[in-house]
Structure 1
Amino acid sequence: MDKPVHLIKLCVGAEAVEDLLAWQNHPRAKGPDGQPRHVTRMWPKREAEIVGQGSLYWVFKGLVLCRQPIVRFDEVIGHDGIRRCGIVLDPTITRVTPAPKRPFQGWRYLQAADAPLDLREGREADDPLPDTLARELADIGLL
């Protein structure tokens, strides 16, 4: 099996992973099936390489901090009649080794080889490093 393709996206308006968790528990962040979803304008052309094996990596204030498996893509028609893509996510959030990422718009593809590694078991409960320290350690390859 080929390596999966992932998506990466800025988590706008969130300071930390806990903010994302809180938002995804809100009914407005869920689809009709109760699964969390993120609605975006563009539909990934590489859908078959992503669904069921890829994840959405979330960037918080310049650092990739977590990922969520992508379950499927749903068509969402907005109040304006425009077709959009609902990225349906597994509610499980996996923290990853913090990795710096510059701002960008929308989502981007992320190859498996470029994806940050999941945090080692037991480290998920560690107190997070301050953003500036985590960014500096990631910049020099120590995270």
Structure 2
Amino acid sequence: MSLNLIKLCVGADSVEDLESWIEFRLGEMRRAGEVPEQVHTTRMVPKRVEELLDGGSLYWVIKGNVQCRQRLVDIRPFVDTDGIGRCHLVLDPRIIVTDWQPRRAFQGWRYLTPADAPADLGAGRAGWAALPTELRRELADLGLL
């Protein structure tokens, strides 16, 4: 059974902002002659790696709501130049928009079971994703999204 992670997306104001940042970083890597892959660095290494890599995703909390996810491709523990253990979460750069789900702020990442994860925004609700970000945020705040 797969397992997911959930994390605050610090610095992004919207899914579109996150997508722009990812494309910018991948472009920089291509220009530098590096293999383009999206890597998010964390301090803590997940203990349940096999479950996470069995179809799991990283769900992003943006402005107080889970709004999207990215599939986990690999988890690579490493030691940085200061001798501190860290972890690279390698992500599929494709963003999958989800139903919005309110979340309070927290530090680091948390495990997220499939039962607690918001559903992907299906074809029947694709129109919601086309709404302007501010309107989606206001509707979510009112509990209508």
CA distance in 1, matches of 2:142, 2:78: 40
> Aligned with 1:7: secondary structure?
strand
Given residue 69 of structure 1, which amino acid in structure 2 is its aligned partner? R
- Aligned CA distance change for structure 1 residues 78 and 25 (closer, same or farther; 3 Å): farther
For residues 87-106 of structure 1, the aligned pairs below 5 Å read 87-106=89-108
Which stretch of the first structure deviates more once superposed, 118-127 or 96-105? 118-127
**Maintained 8 Å contact 1:39/1:76:** no
| Root mean square deviation of aligned Cα | 2.0
Structure with the bigger percentage of helix: 2
For residues 1-143 of structure 1, the aligned pairs below 5 Å read 2=1, 4-27=2-25, 33-121=35-123, 122-123=126-127, 125-128=129-132, 129-137=135-143, 142-143=144-145
- Aligned CA distance change for structure 1 residues 71 and 26 (closer, same or farther; 3 Å): same
Q: TM-score, normalised by structure 2?
A: 0.84
CA-to-partner distance for each residue in 1:43-78, whole Å, 9 max, x for gaps? 000111011400000001100000000001113432
CA distance in 1, matches of 2:85, 2:113: 27
Given residue 24 of structure 2, which amino acid in structure 1 is its aligned partner? H
- Aligned CA distance change for structure 1 residues 105 and 22 (closer, same or farther; 3 Å): same
Q: How many residues align?
A: 136
Percent of matched pairs sharing the same residue: 49
Q: TM-score, normalised by structure 1?
A: 0.85
CA distance in 2, matches of 1:131, 1:115: 19
**Maintained 8 Å contact 2:3/2:54:** no
Given residue 132 of structure 1, which amino acid in structure 2 is its aligned partner? E
CA distance in 2, matches of 1:77, 1:33: 21
